[in-house]
Structure 1
């Protein structure tokens, strides 16, 4: 339960009641008190209150009321007064505490439930039943955003995301680890691409401006059954992994737009090495310098257009032709031809993938 909520409550009580008011857990630890100096201290000799069959107990000039949540006494509210009026006030305060506890527990249980589905920690047969108990829609369009953060470890992106997506019934913010959070967002329709893009951009921009945190978002596909949330989560993971290799300049990566990178990512490394050896015989790729690779990149960006590429590189057209001839001589691939350009492009991506794999080993 959020202690901050309790402290806000007792501060409101302080404005209305001229008596000390406090909220304790079942062990007597004061979680919130109108006398802030007592917060965090433990009250001894509560045994008589805990063992009493009565919910309301008067003892040594104070009135205590136990708060029952889910058939268990979880909190004790007290007032430093034993008058009848105090008992009425205490009943209202205890009701507030109970409602807060139920609300918080429901919210936590929902988030935990969604987390268990994503991580495959719940039996498929139990999902529908548990969703009904927690009032979570079984059939709704949802998409998973996996957010990876880097930078300030003292920042709290979880709180920021909660404030951005306050609908606790339809949207769920879940902490995965120190650097990873998940947003499971409900959509109005399966093809609500504008809303997905808008949401991803809001996350990136807000974390950057509010917390000065660099973030990358992987987006899974839209699913329409709660059981499929785990699939969308795995897709978001794959989007970040594949995007980190082939599109590391992007901050938002969609599983649906991974293209050939997804195919390469699923290939065995032995097959990738065989392909590179076949394309670049005698390690001809290693003979290409940084300037040559920059030229190739620009040439691909301009759809193999010699004139436009030479203009952007600020070189004469004949200079670019000379460089392309040199590449052909070294590799046997004429990048002005579509088939050869495609082979070279794929080989560059395969090389990137192998370098990433070898770096992890």
Structure 2
């Protein structure tokens, strides 16, 4: 049972409003004595029963229950349930990593996203809300290792802390899907001058590549990583998670062989993916038959690299480790097969669009 399930059960048992809250250090010290927290003893303050669940770095996470109208038996039952839950948490070793609070937020996030509510504000009864008011950078990590055991919260948190060297939040969303929230100043060293608008995408991309390399060095198997621009999570987290999930879906379709996906590099792909399947097939038919070229892995790689290098012949040849004349031969062959000269902007745009339509339609 997680903390959110406990809260719901207490509400069902008593019919009273309940909540789970992570208290600041000063509030924790003033509300609970050290002895009371260690024993899980409840306190009553301003008409609410507070039961400490666990402590993390001086911050106590507690469940509270409105007492107005409760009978003595109901109060004892509620207290008994909360105290036993706290004992079970300590036995499971979850309290040190904050996993319970993270899973509470996870349940709410998944519920909002299932209802397509991308602009919901995190409610006050979420224990982590007090830590979500500053600018944070969201990452989404998705594993494709269907037959391997699920990575534990503790082991992943330990690995992430070794990279970010400071406080982060880890939210397990679905099976093999993890949301990582890092403070913006962790990426800049606290120097906002380095985080100017023109360098933001590059900085986020470098951080994402470094994180992917670290995880790849520790884990066996395939996983995808996406990053979104900084957000104030208390109001913008659901929208960011929706964007990150869409980014990984698009990356799997259009960036086969790549495992780092950036939303600002997938604008055209997002547009193509939104076109109904029947209309995509109609467009492919109208453009012409490019099957021979796009089904050829060597030609497809050549085109993808050519567009990646901004249609620069010399840079593309270097990237592919081939002679410039070999590249020109391939481009001439594409022109013979399709009638399109990708060295001209108009034809290059048509071929790029055709490649994207082909990729998404081929998967259907």
Bin of the TM-score, shorter chain as denominator length: 0.5 to 0.7
Answer yes or no: is the 8 Å Cα contact 1:106–1:134 preserved in 2: no
Quote the residue 2:106 is aligned against: 115
| Mapped pair 1:343 → 2:340 | no
Among 229, 232, 236, which residue is 1:221 paired with?
229
Quote the residue 2:291 is aligned against: 285
| Mapped pair 1:144 → 2:138 | yes
Among 255, 265, 269, which residue is 2:263 paired with?
255
| Mapped pair 1:183 → 2:180 | yes
Q: Deviations over 1:29-63 (max 9, x none)?
A: xxxxxxxxxxxxxxxxxxxxxxxxxxxxxxxxxxx
| Mapped pair 1:158 → 2:153 | yes
CA drift of 1:327 comes to: 3.1
TM norm structure 2: 0.58
Structure having greater relative contact order (Cα 8 Å, sep ≥ 6)? 2
Q: What SS does the corresponding residue of 2:139 show, helix, strand or coil?
A: strand
Distance in 2 (alpha carbons) for counterparts of 1:271 and 1:225: 37
| Mapped pair 1:331 → 2:338 | yes
Quote the residue 2:362 is aligned against: 355
When residues 316 and 173 of structure 1 are mapped into structure 2, their CA distance, relative to the original with a 3 A threshold, is closer
CA drift of 1:115 comes to: 1.1
CA drift of 1:221 comes to: 3.0
CA drift of 1:140 comes to: 1.7
Q: What SS does the corresponding residue of 1:72 show, helix, strand or coil?
A: helix
CA drift of 1:213 comes to: 3.7
Aligned residues: 270
Quote the residue 1:173 is aligned against: 170
Answer yes or no: is the 8 Å Cα contact 1:142–1:229 preserved in 2: no
When residues 225 and 271 of structure 1 are mapped into structure 2, their CA distance, relative to the original with a 3 A threshold, is same
CA drift of 1:241 comes to: 0.8
Quote the residue 1:265 is aligned against: 273
Distance in 2 (alpha carbons) for counterparts of 1:284 and 1:103: 56
Distance in 2 (alpha carbons) for counterparts of 1:315 and 1:196: 34
Distance in 1 (alpha carbons) for counterparts of 2:317 and 2:167: 52
When residues 130 and 207 of structure 1 are mapped into structure 2, their CA distance, relative to the original with a 3 A threshold, is same
Among 97, 122, 128, which residue is 1:127 paired with?
122
Answer yes or no: is the 8 Å Cα contact 2:169–2:181 preserved in 1: yes
Q: What SS does the corresponding residue of 2:343 show, helix, strand or coil?
A: coil
- In the TM superposition, 1:56-75 aligns within 5 A as 71-72=79-80
CA drift of 1:343 comes to: 0.8
Answer yes or no: is the 8 Å Cα contact 2:120–2:235 preserved in 1: no
CA drift of 1:216 comes to: 1.4
Q: Deviations over 1:101-153 (max 9, x none)?
A: 8983993452134213422349988834224x656235221233211123471
When residues 219 and 117 of structure 1 are mapped into structure 2, their CA distance, relative to the original with a 3 A threshold, is farther
Distance in 1 (alpha carbons) for counterparts of 2:243 and 2:152: 22
Q: Deviations over 1:57-83 (max 9, x none)?
A: xxxxxxxxxxx997226668xxxxxxx
Distance in 2 (alpha carbons) for counterparts of 1:212 and 1:98: 32
Which blocks of at least 5 consecutive residues in structure 1 are unaligned? 3-22, 24-67, 77-95
